[in-house]
Amino acid sequence: MHDPRVLLDPATDAVRKLARRGFNLDLPALDKLFSQRTALVGQADESRAESNRLAREVGAAAKRGEDVTEPRERAKSVKARVQELEEQHRQVSAELEEFLLGVPNLPSDELPDGNSDEDAELVRTWGEPPAFDFDPADHVSIGERLGIFDFQRATKLSGPRFSVTRGAGARLERAIAAFLIELHTEQHGYTEFNVPVIVNRQTMTGTGQLPKFESDLFRTGVAERELFLIPTAEVPLTNLHAGEILATEDLPFAYTANTACFRSEAGSYGKDTKGLIRLHQFQKVELVRFCTPERADAEFELLLSHAENALKELGLAYRVVKLAAGDIGFSAERTYDIEVWLPGQQRYREISSVSDFGTFQARRAGIRTKAKDGTRGLANTLNGSGLPIGRTMVAILEQNQQEDGSVVLPPALVPYARFKRINPDGTLGE
């Protein structure tokens, strides 16, 4: 969420910046709401002061034995006016908050123009896409041939866009998750958390999923409480510090969690309907960092390097692209996508998004900072996928498939999986 004064400041150039992401900021409407609220605060303060003055006068007159009927009526009238102004202030403040909650973050000027992945700017590539002496299969064909996927029974259980893994597939998923968590905690310095995957509306609002993306979320309830299934562990991890003041000398904080994630994928039907690419439920290891705004650039590069290192350790060819201003998420100032090479599709596909949110989420969630000298501010939040389990398995299966139908595991995974390959018949090979 934004400070309305910042959006109204011509130096911010908010209208132009938001137009780059396809958002039309109604500046006159914002100015009207903000002016109304400011005026009502002043009027209420004046009326409150007058009410207090009249109350003192009535009390003094009563002590002197004077008739206080008329001044008491005036005091009641002013008190009623205070209550009226306070109610008007609540209404206008609610309208202003609703307006501001719908305004996305200002995109960084470093981002290219455009609104699709075709407008992304290539940053770098790593690794050589594997060359095959045969036509590489996609992960669905590989997994079904090996007997490690069962999409038919997943559909029976829950409908389309769910998955069931079995045997070596389930074991491989578990190994990937263990490898990623240990990498990020032992080598990259993240603190691991086990967090709820069902959260309240305030928590979803803090990171920007609500109110704009309510149709994309799965909603549930417990004992008449409205709750939502998280689309990513970014939501609970970031909101761990909602309403708190963080000491700047303790920053940065680096958090990670492996959780189930739930997305309705509204508007995506017809895209990636087969396989593990776009599911309603999936596992993901998330990385979240808190810092001061002055450290944001360095923290962004560090976070990006941690997500990249996971792919390097697994030997998976990938590239990094800078998303266009109109293609970044609602809460982001800038986003770099890491795209892994998928031989079965003969293209790079997103496997991680690393985003800098500036102070946008911190303002919504009330995450503040305080320096030793008493200086106060807002925290800068960042997050990235490090990595999604399903898409990582897709890349491993496709980049490491063999002509005989087997799949060789990356050496980094072997200590966690305790096998080296999946044989053509689906059995484990040492």
Q: Active-site residue 353, yes or no?
A: yes
Q: Which two tokens stand for residue 364?
A: 């919504």
- 352 belongs to an annotated ligand binding site: yes
- 244 belongs to an annotated ligand binding site: no
Distance between first and last Cα of the chain: 53
- 192 belongs to an annotated ligand binding site: no
Q: List the catalytic residue out of 166, 201, 350, 368.
A: 350
The DSSP code for 184 is I
Q: Active-site residue 201, yes or no?
A: no
Phi-psi region of 425 (alpha: psi -120 to 50; beta: other; left: phi over 0): alpha
Q: Strand 407-408 relative to strand 421-422: parallel, antiparallel, unpaired?
A: antiparallel
User: Strand, coil or helix: what is 158?
Assistant: helix
- 263 belongs to an annotated ligand binding site: yes
Burial 393-409 (b: 16+ CB within 10 A, else e): bbbbbbbbbeeebbbeb
Helix (H) or strand (E) holding 175: helix 168-182
- 294 belongs to an annotated ligand binding site: no
Q: List the catalytic residue out of 141, 163, 331, 353.
A: 353
Q: What are phi and psi of 56, to 5 degrees?
A: -65, -40
Strand partners, 281: 262
**CA-closest candidate to residue 317, choices 123, 129, 124:** 129
Q: List the catalytic residue out of 37, 171, 319, 391.
A: 391
User: Strand, coil or helix: what is 392?
Assistant: helix
- 286 belongs to an annotated ligand binding site: yes
One-letter amino acid identity for 229? L
Q: Is the sign of the CA dihedral 156, 157, 161, 162 positive or negative? A: negative
Residue 134's Cβ-side half-sphere holds a number of Cα atoms within 13 Å equal to 11
Helix (H) or strand (E) holding 90: helix 69-101
- 205 belongs to an annotated ligand binding site: no
Q: List the catalytic residue out of 72, 166, 201, 278.
A: 278
| d(C-alpha 127, C-alpha 383), whole Å | 24
Q: List the catalytic residue out of 20, 263, 289, 319.
A: 263
- 145 belongs to an annotated ligand binding site: no
Q: Active-site residue 47, yes or no?
A: no
Q: Active-site residue 391, yes or no?
A: yes
Question: What is the per-residue DSSP string for 14-74?
Answer: HHHHHHTTT----HHHHHHHHHHHHHHHHHHHHHHHHHHHHHHHHHHHHHTT---HHHHHH
| d(C-alpha 350, C-alpha 6), whole Å | 34
| d(C-alpha 31, C-alpha 141), whole Å | 57
Cβ pair 198, 220 in contact under 8 A: yes
- 406 belongs to an annotated ligand binding site: no
One-letter amino acid identity for 169? G
Annotation: binding site for L-serine: 232-234, 263, 286, 383, 385
Q: Which residues are catalytic?
A: 263, 278, 350, 353, 391
Q: Residue ranges for the binding site?
A: 232-234, 263-265, 286, 350-353, 383, 385
Known binding-site residues for ATP equal 263-265, 350-353
